[in-house]
């Protein structure tokens, strides 16, 4: 789906790229594997984009320009929690950030398994892996 010009930044760019792809799909060359994406696969992509838009909102809504490091760290925490939490491997890195910059306590849910909601939307749910996709 994401061939050609680079989408604009952020999830709005992904939404626009999907909208453009849907509008221009019939004009693709007959050998282009993207022609074979069905409506269910495109809806799965739209659902994933919608979920990413909600999860990434704290970072995308961050005001332009310089921000206090604590604000940026807090926004990252919000995004990670929306994506399902922090893995055991990431927890020490956040502890180090908190300690180094004196940010106080940042409560993070540490997961023992793959993060939640979005982890089930892997490639096999969007594109049949038996098809050749470029």
Domain boundary assignment for the chain: 10-126
Compare 21 and 123 and report the one with higher pLDDT: 21
The whole-number average pLDDT for the span 20-39 is: 87
Q: Give the model's pLDDT for residue 118.
A: 47
Q: Give the model's pLDDT for residue 19.
A: 93
Angle at 7 between CA 65 and CA 75, to 5 degrees: 40
Tell the burial category of 17 from Cβ atoms under 10 Å away from its Cβ (0-12, 13-18, 19+): buried
pLDDT higher than 50, residue 134: no
Place of tokens 């961050």: 62
The predicted model scores a pTM of 0.63
110-111 vs 86-87, strand pairing mode: parallel
Q: How confident is the model at residue 123 (pLDDT cuts 50, 70, 90)?
A: very low
């Amino acid at each position: 789906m994401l061939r050609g010009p680079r989408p604009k930044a952020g999830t709005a760019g992904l939404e626009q790229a999907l909208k453009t792809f849907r509008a221009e799909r019939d004009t693709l060359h007959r050998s282009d594997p993207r022609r074979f994406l069905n409506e269910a696969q495109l809806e799965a992509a739209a659902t994933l984009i919608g979920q990413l838009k909600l999860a990434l909102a704290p970072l995308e809504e961050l005001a332009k320009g310089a921000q206090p490091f604590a604000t940026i760290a807090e926004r990252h925490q919000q995004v990670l929690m929306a994506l399902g939490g922090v893995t055991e491997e990431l927890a020490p890195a956040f502890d180090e950030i908190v300690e180094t910059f004196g940010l106080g306590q940042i409560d993070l849910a540490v997961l023992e398994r793959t993060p939640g909601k979005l982890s089930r939307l892997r490639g096999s749910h969007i594109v049949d892996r038996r098809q050749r996709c470029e």
